[in-house]
Structure 1
Amino acid sequence: MEANNFCCMKMVFICGALEPGKDGVGDYTRRLSAALIKQGISVSILAYNDKFIKKKIEELQSSDGSEIPCLRLPHTWTSKQRTQQAKNWVDKYNPDWLSLQFVIYSFHNKGLPFGISSQLKQIVSDRKCQIMFHETWLGLKTNDSLKYQIIGFLQKRIIKRLRSAIKFKVVHTHTQFYMRELNKIGFYNVKYLPVFSNIPVIDIKESPYKENKKVKFVLFGSIHPNVDFVEFFNELQDFYKHKMGFTLEVIFIGKSGRFLDPWINELKSRKIPFSTLGEQNPESISEVLQQVNYGITTNPSFVVEKSGTVAAMREHGLKVIIVAEKTEPKDTFKLKFNKSLFEYKSGNLKEFLEDGHKKNTDVLGINSVAQKFLNDIKAG
């Protein structure tokens, strides 16, 4: 579809917060908006419940060379104040479409925004509306606590009310698993929209990626609990000890979280070199991702598609090994794996590693995702 078919279209995105680098959905929305602006769409963003500010802010935010008008409303305001200010702003802008970037915790710190459907209905009015479910509700895993199951039950009811209040023309989500769960509660014809990376691939003078005897693994992002990484490292070392001269290195980057220490202790005990880089700017992260051979994630396979860190590794050409926490969805679900993703199970690592660390090219970037978004909007 040609971009000029969308010229003069006006769109407002609604998300929770827009503090750069501090809110994943806000960063996602900003990058998607910038890509749409480059295709001739007039875009602005409303942060409806911004926990990073104490007063209303109207500003231009920048992403990928584009400037985007933004209204940020503080979470400390009453819902009545935020609804009225948001409605006035949307009415003034008068968009053809609204896009709700939905994470239930973006609209209430405990994930229970009971009045959100009526508030958003006032803002949306009778305009055409799309929704992206970045997350759904708690209680979908076999090992979820009773507390999570109760909260999830209430969250599901809130989402059902939202479905009744607003007739969404287009419904998107990032994962095959969420598509099925949403279908169960009446969101039919949910469309799959792949997640893209919030870490642009930077140009470097000379590619550091080389086929040599130092094999580097990067674990980017949060480390989940209950991961059998001991067996994983057993198989990893067992494979490379037969490869004369090969050495291993593990790099941790991003917000690894409180479960990092057991991994470090295991690497120390095995004398495997490692480094912990912590949070870095996008340029530094991109440079690191271009210098390693494989990515690692501890996200469970059935929700791995929604991970921005996994998307970043894949867009940088890495095959990603899922060394996941021990949990399963309550309902039987089998993910159709992309060839750039590999789910580690005890005993299967050797066959994967024998294939070699070839660069992965089977992934959609921001521009392709933006085009699919627009095509789905037109079809809706």
Structure 2
Amino acid sequence: MKIIIISPAFPPNRDGVGDYTFVLADGLADKNEVIIVTSKLKGVKSESKNKFHVIREIDKWGGLDLFHILSICKNFSPELVIIQYVSFMYGRGGINLTFPLLSVLLRIRYSVFTMLHELFTPFGFSIKTFLMSLIQRLMLFFLIIGSDRIGVSIKVWERVLKRFFFWRKGDFRWIPIPSNIKISTKTNIPEKLSRFNKKPLLAFFGSLHITKIMEFLTASLDALVKKGYDAGLIVIGQDENEISAYIKELPDYLRERIFCTGYCSSEDVSQYLSITDIFLLPLIDGVSSRRTSLMAALKHGLPVVTTKGFLTDDIFLQENFTLLSPSTDKALFAANVVRVAEDEKLRDATGKKGREAYEKYFSEKLMIERYLDHAFSMKK
């Protein structure tokens, strides 16, 4: 089957959706002919990988660029077009009313599958945010109209969209986001961390987005230190400048126990995770199946202490493979961290359950199978 994947980001871009697209393309290319259409990147040309071809010719994702995408599709004649969608990736300020019309035009001739990584910005409390959210909802509406099938990264969104597009309930499917971090075969401690000999070693991995509750990380570290542990916290993927605003007010005895790795390759991330004792992921909106940092931790068999909120998938509440607390309860989150640190059997059992849950529900192989199953269910 010929497949075109449209994604504004693709490696070497440092972007989660780009990494996700690479994993998807790599898996689909085992038995299909795959082309990725992505943004121009200075110094990087279109290229043929071992398994697929990358076309880096799109500039602003509007106007003439859309006709260029239609031209590429016409020349390649794909049986399936997959769109990776995050509103902010297709337009400055998250607004691009012309791009969703592309899916409408594509659907006239091709089967279109759109993967929704995010839906839209919440209305918020300012006129600017309200208008942005309103326009992004309109963009989403036209994108869905222009799609035969739609994948969503969390169950809550699947339920919401099925309710609003009730006549198309069968067109939506939950497709969790897997980890894009391969487990490293190296067993040595990263050189950067060789002098940071702390136990237990806590880890946080990912961006410092507003949805991450950084205060919970330092509260957990403080709780362990006050219990007599020589604990430490590694912040994977961020440097000290990026996290300075969060730690500058901390007392010295905590600040000296926090180690920032800076930007990491996938192999470096895997090495850091491999020496971690407890993985922390405090989220305002709650843990969900779109969090790739969580998936990396589960894949590596780490016990995960996280939070539940309005976006938390049912599977996290029904199956006990992470330690959950409300996103409003800092004390309980820290208590869960201490509990895991004190109980080796709980630590091992939670890590094992997490790894098993990853293979059962979230793995890369399952993602590819879900895409193809949903795609082959289309009737043109």
Shorter-chain TM band: 0.7 to 0.9
Matched, 1:292 2:283: no
Q: Which residue of 2 aligns with 1:52?
A: 41
Q: How much does 1:218 deviate?
A: 0.9
Q: Is 1:356 aligned to residue 333 of structure 2?
A: no
List aligned pairs for 1:206-225, cutoff 5 A.
214-225=199-210
What is the CA RMSD across the aligned residues, in angstroms?
3.2
The count of residues paired between Structure 1 and Structure 2 equals 348
Of 90-99 and 295-304, more deviation after overlay is shown by: 295-304
Alignment of 1:1-380 (within 5 A): 9-38=1-30, 40-47=31-38, 50=39, 52-53=41-42, 57-61=45-49, 66-76=50-60, 79-139=62-122, 145-164=126-145, 166=146, 168-186=147-165, 188-189=169-170, 190-205=172-187, 214-225=199-210, 233-234=218-219, 237-238=222-223, 241-242=226-227, 246-255=229-238, 258-263=242-247, 265-266=249-250, 268-270=252-254, 273-302=257-286, 304-322=288-306, 335-336=313-314, 337=316, 339-344=320-325, 345-349=329-333, 350-351=335-336, 352-353=339-340, 354=343, 356-358=346-348, 359=351, 360-361=354-355, 362-363=357-358, 364-380=362-378
> 83-92 or 283-292, which moves further after superposition?
83-92
Distance 1:239 1:375, change over 3 A: same
SS, match of residue 370 in structure 2: helix
**What CA distance in whole angstroms lies between the structure 1 residues aligned with 2:88 and 2:187?**
42
**2: CA distance, partners of 1:278 / 1:207:** 16
The unaligned stretches of length 5 or more in structure 2 are: 191-196
Instruction: Give 1:299's aligned amino acid.
Output: L
Q: Residues 35 and 75 of structure 1: is their aligned pair in 2 closer, same or farther, counting only changes over 3 Å?
A: same
Q: Distance in 2 between matches of 1:54 and 1:15?
A: 19
| Mapped contact 2:214–2:246 kept (Cα < 8 A) | no
Contact 1:45–1:71 (CA under 8 A) maintained in structure 2: yes
Question: How much identity, in percent, do the aligned residues show?
Answer: 18
SS of the residue 1:266 aligns to: coil
Structure 1 position 347, deviation (Å):
3.9
Q: For residue 158 of structure 1, what is the amino acid of its counterpart?
A: M
Deviation sequence 1:314-351 (CA, Å, 0-9, x none)? 22222332369xxx75xxx6642253433343443435
Q: Which amino acid aligns with 1:214?
A: K
- Measure the CA separation in 1 of the matches of 2:126 and 2:90: 23
Gaps of 5+ in 1: 1-8
Alpha carbons of structure 1 residues 230 and 111: separation in structure 2 relative to 1, 3 Å:
closer
Answer 1 or 2: which has greater helix percent.
Answer: 2
Task: Report the alpha carbon displacement of residue 264 of structure 1 after superposing the two structures with TM.
Answer: 5.9
SS at match of 2:297: helix
